[in-house]
Amino acid sequence: MTDFSTIYKLSLVAVFCFIQACSSSCPVLECWFVQEKVGRGGGLTAATSQEKSLLHIRTDAHSHSAESQKTPSDINPDRVYFITDPAGTFCHPSLNPPRGSVKKPQCEINPFLPQPSSLKWVAPLTDSALSPIYLQADWFSTSHQGLNKELTISSITRAPTATKEHNVILSVTSKTVSVQSRLGEPVVLDCGFWVDPSSPLSGLGFAVEWRYQFRGDGRLVLAYDGKTDRLADTQEEGATLDFEGLHEKGNASLILQEAKVRHSGMYICTVYLPYLVAQVAVELEIVEPPSLSIHPSPLPLAVPGQTLTVQCEASGFAPLSLELSWEFKGSDGKSRPLGSGSVTGHRQAWDGTLSQSTRLELDTAKLDLGRGGEVTCVAVHLGGTRRASVTLNAVGFSAPSIEDSMAMVGVALVLYGLIKFVSWTFTGSDSDEADKQDKKVK
């Protein structure tokens, strides 16, 4: 019995230490408090004001550290807030850099006004058209981005009116702030949300929306009403959600079954609760390296005074940026650049991929080709460097080597010996015939 009691006590101590460690690892975030200025006459202007603020993050509302009692001199005490985040989302290491670190996570806090939405996949969340007393409080919207784009968070917090003790009611996160993918591969754009289970808004339903934006172009990719379990009719082909994970774990990640060039752009994941909304942005870039081909292949034999034209075609790549150049590697193994040649503009294929070519004029009179070598086309792209080579055979550009000279001497000696042998053979035959003729005369 004593052993079980001891184990139980030790387990309690371990849990307490774990909670303390988690609490102590939560950051104190420097934030910008941004709000719109109120113009004269009560009208709102486009101008905004911003003040430095401080957010003390904790997972337990009753935990206070000694550090939380200190306020920097350049921060108004009215802009110091205490945020209770039971899920521990704000305690991610990317939001808590080492002391003295130059790089800081990005943070912004804004006043938030709860209100119903008229979107058809969100409207069912507020069918009653009644605003609960629970909404009569101070509400803030916060956005955070961790170091090295490891994490982005958008949250809605609530505090009793005129207090600074805020609780996180809704948080939306993404661990894939920037994603790269090859063509044809499945892509998962991470988005998850958490709702405070003690909030009266929990259990009243939710809605998820994914939108696409790129260079002024925007479209609805997918919208789902979690309360009625219905997808909007405007769902894009090849885009879906893990609906089981969505309801059980708050996994709202967008799944693109096959990456295409047109998928490159910004995706916005928005989660709705009754009267509340939070969203995060994820950037997707489709990166496909080029395929290279050289024409003509093989190259014709190069002779002195000749100009050879070589063309390199780079095709099937995305995005746009590409650097093309040429290199020549001689028979001595040394490489030297030949420049970029004459580069054409981009051409777009039916699938959105791009192609570009470069033409090289090889002037054999200006280029010491020696005994030939290898001409290489080099393409430097975000998806990696690609190379394609073709052999160049040349004659008459340099004196023969020692080996070649020795071989030529050997061939000459053999030919000389052969000629002498044939000459001796024919000469001998003629002498014998002459002797025979002389004997007959006698």
Each residue's pLDDT tens digit in the chain (442 positions)?
Answer: 444 344 333 333 333 333 333 444 788 899 999 998 765 445 545 688 899 999 999 998 776 654 556 778 888 888 999 999 999 999 999 898 877 778 889 999 999 999 999 899 999 998 875 678 899 999 999 999 998 888 999 999 999 998 899 999 999 999 999 999 999 999 999 999 999 999 999 989 999 999 999 887 889 999 999 999 999 887 788 999 999 999 999 999 999 999 999 999 999 999 999 999 999 999 999 999 999 999 998 888 777 677 889 999 999 999 999 999 999 888 777 888 999 999 999 999 999 999 999 999 887 666 666 667 889 999 999 999 999 999 888 765 554 555 555 655 565 676 767 777 667 766 655 555 545 555 554 4
Among 346, 351, 306, CA closest to 322: 346
Among 26, 202, 206, 184, CA closest to 119: 206
In a domain, 5, yes or no: no
List the Cα angle 212/219/237 in 5-degree steps: 85
The pLDDT value recorded for residue 405 is: 55
Both 233 and 321 in one domain: the answer is no
What is the residue-wise DSSP string for 114-144?
Answer: ------TTTGGGGTT----GGG-SEEEEEEE
Both 311 and 280 in one domain: the answer is no
In a domain, 194, yes or no: yes
The pLDDT value recorded for residue 321 is: 94
Q: Where are the beta strands (DSSP E) in 318-353?
A: 322-330, 335-339, 342-343, 347-348
Both 105 and 140 in one domain: the answer is yes
**Alpha carbons 426 and 422: distance in angstroms, whole number:** 6
Amino acid at 56: H
What is the residue-wise DSSP string for 46-93?
Answer: EEEEEEEEEEEEESSTT---GGGG---TTS-GGGEEEEE-TT-GGG-G
**Alpha carbons 197 and 273: distance in angstroms, whole number:** 13
In a domain, 422, yes or no: no
Among 436, 56, 52, 116, CA closest to 272: 116
| Cβ contacts of 366 within 8 Å, gap of 6 or more | none
Q: Is the C-alpha dihedral spanning 314, 319, 320, 323 positive or negative?
A: negative
The structure tokens listed for 385 are 């460097």
Q: Which of 286, 302, 332 is the last residue of a domain?
A: 286
The structure tokens listed for 368 are 């010491």
The structure tokens listed for 96 are 């808590």
**Alpha carbons 353 and 350: distance in angstroms, whole number:** 7
In a domain, 405, yes or no: no
Among 136, 14, 142, CA closest to 84: 142
The structure tokens listed for 264 are 């490159």
In a domain, 435, yes or no: no
Burial (Cβ within 10 Å: 0-12, 13-18, ≥19) of residue 343 = middle
The pLDDT value recorded for residue 234 is: 76
Give the single-character DSSP code of 320: S
Both 308 and 267 in one domain: the answer is no
Number of structural domains the chain divides into? 2
In a domain, 413, yes or no: no
The pLDDT value recorded for residue 218 is: 87
Both 217 and 365 in one domain: the answer is no
The pLDDT value recorded for residue 65 is: 56
Both 326 and 184 in one domain: the answer is no
**Alpha carbons 331 and 9: distance in angstroms, whole number:** 78
The pLDDT value recorded for residue 25 is: 76
Both 186 and 210 in one domain: the answer is yes
Both 236 and 302 in one domain: the answer is no
Q: Is-cis flag, bond preceding 116, omega within 30?
A: no
Both 234 and 327 in one domain: the answer is no
Note whether 51 and 37 are within 8 A (CB): no
Q: State which residues form the domain around 128.
A: 25-35+48-63+74-286
| CATH number of residue 118's parent domain | 2.60.40.10
The pLDDT value recorded for residue 428 is: 57
Both 340 and 388 in one domain: the answer is yes
Both 263 and 178 in one domain: the answer is yes
What is the residue-wise DSSP string for 399-415?
Answer: PPPHHHHHHHHHHHHHH
The pLDDT value recorded for residue 408 is: 58
In a domain, 242, yes or no: yes
The pLDDT value recorded for residue 438 is: 53
Note whether 259 and 287 are within 8 A (CB): no
Q: Which of 237, 263, 286 is the last residue of a domain?
A: 286
Both 52 and 194 in one domain: the answer is yes
List the Cα angle 201/207/210 in 5-degree steps: 140
**Alpha carbons 159 and 136: distance in angstroms, whole number:** 10
